[in-house]
Amino acid sequence: MTAGADPNGTLAGRRVGFVGLGLMGVPMVRRLAAAGAELALWTRSIEKAEELAAELPGAEAMPSPRHVAEAADTVIVMVTDADAVEAVAFDPYEDEWGIAHGLSEDGLVIDMGTTAVDRTRDFAGRIRMIGGSWVDAPVSGGTTAAEAGTLTIMAGGSDPDFARAEPLFRAMGQRITHVGPVGAGQIAKTANQMIVGLTIGAVAEALALSKRAGADPARVREAIFGGFAHSRILELHGERMVTGDFQPRARVTIQRKDMRAARDLAEQVGLALPGLAANLPLWEALVEAGRGDLDHSALVLAIDPEEWDDA
């Protein structure tokens, strides 16, 4: 299903909680506010939530994820990984401040981050035991698409739960697909991230080879535009490589996490993926070299550091 961004007040009266105000979370919240949602916000830095709430009509900062759930009928989670999802959803430390502790019996939790498939299904089952529902709806498109309301959203959950979530997705996304039951959205995102990681690797290797062989990688990139090798990653990440612009839009650490998740899922289903097996060590090497906070286009530094460190 495809839907356009909808900033025209169609979420008026909808009480939406949002947990996690990072690079992606903030622009997503702004899109929901533009669509008229009443927002309850929480992030680890309460000051950040308070500052954002002060900017947006109908928004309020909350002291914990539990308070967010108490104030909303739907809670969106946008945090870094499965451990962070478990922490905000269930508070395994004090067993008191998680979303589950404040969720109404018919409340809906939507995880829009990238979370391991097996743990997603576990989290969904735990929420069902208290009468709530879970939709996994990871996104693709990065901060640029989040700001424009043109995210690609791949959702897993029951038909009724997807229908409840869809108006929110319309405010944030352009291409929205209900992939299947709980976990299916994360499977799609794992496939997406695998393609991204492997393609960044292919572009980085091609440009590194071009430079080492004596050609200007910027001109090589320009020369292959429009052919079968043309891709969005060649456009965006290739440009970052040749200009040395590694300011983070999506961090190396996050890409490594996603490639590890793909490896783990492949192991769970008994499938050998040789390309992934060759690519993942490059991400590991970048993190070990202290470059985990760079943009994931910095993978080229792991392929030929002698040539590219001074690029």
The one-letter code for the residue type at 157 is G
Alpha-helical segments (H) within 213-273: 217-223, 232-243, 252-269
Q: Residue 268, Cβ neighbours under 10 Å: how many?
A: 11
d(CA 202, CA 196): 10
Smallest CA-to-CA distance from 304 within 176, 211, 166 is with 211
Catalytic residue (one of 48, 189, 211, 257): 189
For residues 38 and 9, the answer to whether their CB atoms sit within 8 Å is no
The structure tokens 């700001």 sit at: 147
Residues present in the chain in total: 311
Give residue 193's identity as a one-letter amino acid code: Q
Q: Is 48 a catalytic residue?
A: no
Question: Look-up: residue for tokens 């829009």?
Answer: 112
228-231, long-range: CB within 8 Å, 24+ apart, which pairs? 231/199, 231/203
C-alpha to C-alpha distance for 294 and 193, rounded to whole angstroms: 17
Q: In a 3-state reduction of DSSP, which class is residue 253?
A: helix
Q: Strand 59-61 to strand 151-156: parallel, antiparallel, or no bridges (unpaired)? A: unpaired
What separation in angstroms does the CA of 106 have from each of 18, 69, 117, 127?
A: 17, 11, 23, 10
Both tokens assigned to 117: 């498939």
* 107 in Cβ contact with 133 (< 8 Å): yes
Which are the catalytic amino acids? 189
